[in-house]
Amino acid sequence: MSKLGIPTVKIAKARGAAEKIAGDIQLHIDRRTTVSVERAVLRLYGVDGATDEGAPLVNVVVDQVLHSGRLGLGISYWLANGISCYQLSPQELAENIAAGKIDLVKTPIQDEGAIREEIDKLAKDGLAKITAKRAEREELLARLAQGTEPLLYVIVATGNIYEDVIQAQSAARQGADIVAVIRTTGQSLLDFVPYGATTEGFGGTYATQENFRIMRQGLDEVGEEMGKYIRLTNYASGLCMPEIAAMGAMERLDVMLNDAMYGIIFRDINMQRTFVDQYFSRMINGFAGIIINTGEDNYLTTADAFEAAHTVTASQFINEQLAVKSGMKRSQVALGHAFELNPELENSFVYELAQALLARELFPEAPLKYMPPTKYMTGNIFQGHVQDCLFNVASVMTGQSLHLLGMMTEAIHTPHIADRYLALENAAYVFRAMKDLAGEITFKEDGMIHQRANQVLDNAIALLEEVAELGLMEAISKGMFADISRSSGGGKGLAGVVFKEPGYYNPFMEAMKEGR
Amino acid sequence: MQVDLTRIKPYGDTLNDGAVQLSFTLPVEHSVEAVEAARQLAGKMGFLEPQVTYSKSIGTGFSFFVVYGKANQTVDFTGIKVEKVAVMVMEKKEVEYFIKENFSRPVNVVGACIESDAHTVGIDAIMNMKGFNGHKGLESYKGINAYNLGSQVSCEELVARAMEVKADAILVSQVVTQKDIHVQNLTKLIEIMEAEGIRDEVVLVVGGPRIDHQLAQELGYDAGFGPGTYAEHVASYIVQELKQRGGLR
């Protein structure tokens, strides 16, 4: 039963509008592919490594076909044709292409049936790799304990992956359930994924397959020591969403940041590109049993959290519907929101409660990701610790799932080891002390909390209906999200979007759609 | 209570008691020896009567401490000099009036988070319509054309845009300061502006949570703004500085 007095008809109305929005975008997605989608396919086929100049082989191969104007058929076709012709492995073929010895598009076309057979064989191996990792996770979860919700989620961000492992293991021993490795600033705009271990990043490390592997191993070690599975998070965002999702699937990440609109709005990545990329990346995440975190909290760092609350709710509905279209289960979609109201605002905590509970009621199956205060953190660590404490209270009172721990040193530096300890201690105390409080409380009918939640939902419905009418791309270009306007032809990465030719084939997409 | 301004020290509950609290982590297992090490370390930092009031193991190989001590040093407050942005802060309306009175055209202001920095919270707080904490941003000012280029703008792109819109002032935000990346970025911008010959044609301002005026000046910027800065501070500085330089070009 609703604790907020929200009529189900209202929720259906919001979801219906979001479904229409996602459906319209799907028409755009279905007709296109991107360089990053095709590179992800190559990664799943096992193409790995980079040239001496540092260009990943997957980029070299895809760019060759792109520049010949034939990527619209899908990289699988050209790769499988090359394999049939030269009898090489995907890796050997890629190395020959990088050496300038083979041009895929100029390779004599082999028998269509043989090509198709080759593709399906390659894809079967790729899918098996992901399935094996998923099974490995299920086995570990069955054997080891795991945290209870709200799961305590911390970040590590030393810029050195080996140092990150030390910090992550320490956090796990202090009670952290999920560790996110912060990505170095700037990776989102790289149209390739770097290789190797990062030892000197700025405020984070690169999302590389090697870094994923190193941290996975570190968390597995501490997990065995403690008899508890520690989840690993990284970022499938930016210009390489599908590729990073593929890497995450192969290295058994558990959670990935993956927002359908974040790159467009906050990183000025071209929207035509991102909508196609997010679709395939979520498909991979879904198939790999990975939970995705969406980025609605970011709306509140630019816009005012009180006035813009409904944009968070609207975006949650859109992210949910787009994820469902990618074949994700609702229980894999950790919709985001945040505790970002101005502490100077009277009753700010009351409104935070209303908003957090609204998200919980609108998306009952979603493992909601709740973000701590950042915007109004000042460097006064003592006040900051109190703000984080209230955030912890709001989380346990509203049944949040992934609880990103607030650091009292937010706005000063990336967390020191003791900051994480103090934050974990704070949250553990609040969650223990207030464990069953929520079940004891009902909110006054037509009181402030009911009114606020209903108002936010009404505004979200109005926004969703307007967006559904205009189309999502047009709405974004009008600046309807976060007051930031992006045009469909602007931003970075449009050159990497290609219309599919008749006969386009992506075996992973087909298999994942069917959940094979 | 008579404070000797030539010799000030921290105040706990009695003048000149020098009371200081600090906390830190040592990379050793928690033990009585670790606590003693923390106490001795505080002593070596110069604190008198150091006391470890709390200690705890924070995972294998790390211990956390809260320590109190008494400062043994004083500072001559009468001799302190700090570089500050010399500006009379005006309200938004006053800035708008100032522009109308002193300049014949709107003031063009271009802002960005440069290079790898993706954190727009600062530049948005100063430039975007809504501003921050009830203080409207530069976009809302009559007489100011504000161009917020957003995050991860290369220095080259920022300079090109500034020349294109005939910027009178450039605002640079740097939030990420790990390993002094901001110093590298800010230096690069100056070098490019000098190469393009536009360094002296604009008022160049930098802001961020770890930025102060002194650092800004050392790096060759006209002004630096730190925490607690609102749009009216920056706007007041820009228009007064432009007037002092003889108006708009």
Residue B150 domain flag: yes
Å between B230 CA and nearest CA of chain A? 14
* Judgement on whether residues B67 and B97 belong to the same structural domain of the protein: no
Kindly state whether residue B135 falls inside one of the protein's structural domains.
yes
Whether residue B139 is found in the same domain as residue B220? yes
- Are residues A115 and A156 both part of a single domain? no
Residue pair A477/A268 in contact (Cβ under 8 Å)? The answer is: no
Flag whether residue A186 sits within 8 Å of chain B, measured between CB atoms.
yes
Best to test chain B binding among A167, A169, A174, A185 (most B CBs inside 10 Å): A185
- Residue B150's pLDDT is 84
**Lowest model confidence (mean pLDDT) among A130-139, A283-292, A414-423:** A414-423
Distance of CA A223 to CAs A41, A209, B16, Å?
Answer: 31, 21, 50
Same domain, A248 and A176: yes
Distance (Å, rounded) from C-alpha A267 to C-alpha A274?
11
Q: What is the mean pLDDT of chain B?
A: 93
pLDDT tops 90 at residue B56: yes
Residue B124: list chain A partners with CB under 8 A.
Answer: 301-302
Task: Look at residue B208 and tell me whether its pLDDT is greater than 80.
Answer: yes
Going by C-alpha positions, the residue among A145, A382, A422, A161 that lies closest to residue B58 is A422
A282 in a structural domain:
yes
A59, part of any domain = yes
Same domain, B51 and B124: no
Res B51 pLDDT > 90: yes
Among all chains, which residue has been given the structure tokens 């189900």?
A: A8
> Do A51 and A87 lie in a common domain?
yes
Q: What pTM did the predictor assign? A: 0.89
Model pLDDT, residue A465 = 98
The tens digit of pLDDT for each residue in A48-87 reads: 999 999 999 999 999 999 999 999 999 999 999 999 999 9
Query: Which neighbouring-strand residues pair with A338?
Result: A371
Q: Does residue A197 share a domain with residue A97?
A: no
Phi-psi region of A491 (alpha: psi -120 to 50; beta: other; left: phi over 0): left
| Residue B171 C-alpha, separation from nearest chain A C-alpha, in angstroms | 18
A422-461: pLDDT as tens digits: 999 999 999 999 999 999 999 999 999 999 999 999 999 9
Interface contact flag, B179 A200, Cβ < 8 Å: yes
The tens digit of pLDDT for each residue in B73-116 reads: 999 999 999 888 888 999 999 999 999 999 999 999 999 999 88
Measure CB to CB from residue B179 to each of A159, A189, A344 and give the nearest one: A159
Q: pLDDT digit string (tens) for A216-272? A: 999 999 999 999 999 999 999 999 999 999 999 999 999 999 999 999 988 889 999
Mutate to test the interface with B, among A200, A202, A219 (most CBs of B within 10 A): A202
Considering the domain boundaries, does residue A15 fall inside one? no
Does a structural domain hold residue B39? yes
B157 shares a domain with B239: yes
pLDDT band at B177 (very low <50, low <70, confident <90, very high): confident
The answer to the question of residue A504 being in a domain is no
Show residues of chain B in contact with A170, CB under 8 Å: 58-62
Question: Is residue B184 situated within a structural domain?
Answer: yes
Interface confidence (ipTM) of the complex: 0.86
User: What per-residue confidence (pLDDT) applies to B176?
Assistant: 77
Structural domain including B23 reads 19-77
Domain count, chain A: 2
Question: Which chain B residues are closer than 8 Å to A159 by Cβ?
Answer: 178-179
A152 and A116 in a common domain: no
Domain of A328, in residue numbers: 147-448
* Mean predicted confidence (pLDDT) in A293-313: 89
Using left for φ > 0, alpha for ψ between -120 and 50, and beta otherwise, residue B65 falls in beta
Residue A1 is predicted with a pLDDT of 67
pLDDT at A485: 86
Based on the domain organization, do B69 and B104 belong to the same domain? Answer: no
Same-domain pairing of A93 and A155? no
Residues of B in contact with A379 (CB under 8 A): 209, 227
> For all residues of chain A together, what is the average pLDDT?
95
d(CA A21, CA A86): 46
Task: Please tell me the distance in Å from B60's CA to the nearest CA on chain A.
Answer: 7
Q: Are residues B129 and B183 in the same domain?
A: yes
Q: Is A394 exposed, middle or buried (0-12, 13-18, 19+ CB in 10 A)?
A: buried
Q: Are residues A297 and A360 in the same domain?
A: yes
For A375, the closest of B116, B121, B128 (CB atoms) is B121
For the ranges A87-96, A186-195, B48-57, the lowest mean pLDDT is seen at: A186-195
CA angle, corner A516, sides to A39 and A315, nearest 5? 65
What's the total number of domains in chain B?
A: 2
**In this structure, what CATH number is given to the domain that contains residue B97?**
3.40.50.280
Q: Which is more confident, B237 or A184?
A: B237
Give the mutation candidate from B55, B149, B153, B176 for the A interface (greatest A CB count, under 10 A).
B176
Active-site positions of B read 130
Same domain, B65 and B96: no
Please check whether residues B132 and B227 belong to one and the same domain: yes
B96 and B213 share a domain? yes
In a domain, B66, yes or no: yes
Residue B7: inside a domain, yes or no?
Answer: no
Statement to judge: residues A255 and A363 lie in one domain? yes
Residue at A157 is within a domain? yes
Amino acid identity of residue A73, one-letter, is: L
Radius of gyration of chain A (CA): 23
Out of A448, A469, A484, a domain closes at A448
Q: What is the mean pLDDT of residues A124-150?
A: 96
Q: Which amino acid is at B234?
A: V
Instruction: Read off the CATH number of the domain in which A260 is found.
Output: 3.20.20.440
Range with top average pLDDT, A175-189, A432-446, B147-161: A432-446
Residue B64 sits in the same domain as residue B105 = no
pLDDT by residue (tens digit) across A368-401?
999 999 989 988 999 999 999 999 999 999 999 9
Same domain assignment for residues A119 and A195: no
Interval A90-115: pLDDT, tens: 999 999 999 999 999 999 999 999 99
Is it the case that residue B17 has pLDDT exceeding 90? Answer: yes
Based on the domain organization, do B59 and B121 belong to the same domain? no
CA B228 centroid distance within chain: 9
Q: Is the pLDDT of residue A19 over 80?
A: yes
Let me know if residue A431 belongs to a domain: yes
- Domain presence at residue A474: no
- Residue A132 counted as domain residue: no
Instruction: Mark whether A338 and A300 lie in a shared domain.
Output: yes
Q: Same domain, yes or no, for A316 and A206?
A: yes
Percentage of chain A lying above the pLDDT 90 cut: 89
Q: In angstroms, rounded to a whole number, what is the distance separating the alpha carbons of residues A39 and B30?
A: 49
Model confidence at A516: pLDDT above 70: no
The beta-carbon neighbor of B151 closest among A159, A267, A374 is A267
pLDDT confidence of A2, banded at 50, 70, 90?
confident
Asked if the bond preceding A7 is cis, omega within 30° of 0, the reply is no
AA letter at A34 = T
- A30-36 mean pLDDT: 98
Residues A97 and A163 in one domain: no
DSSP string, B158-201: HHHHHHHTT-SEEEEE----GGGHHHHHHHHHHHHHHHHT-GGG
Is B83 domain-assigned? no
pLDDT of residue B86: 81
| B13 part of a folded domain | no
Of A302, A342, A411, the CB nearest to B128: A302
Confidence grade of residue A299 (pLDDT, cut at 50, 70, 90)? confident
Question: What three-state secondary structure class fits B55?
Answer: strand
Cα separation, A296 vs A294, whole angstroms: 6
Domain of residue B42, CATH code:
3.30.30.60
Kindly state whether residues B33 and B68 are assigned to the same domain.
Answer: yes
**What is d(CA A62, CA B174) in angstroms, rounded to the nearest whole number?**
36
Distance CA A296, CA A410 (A): 19
**Catalytic residue (choose from A235, A369, A504, A505):** A369
Q: What is the distance in angstroms between the Cα of B42 and the nearest Cα belonging to chain A?
A: 17
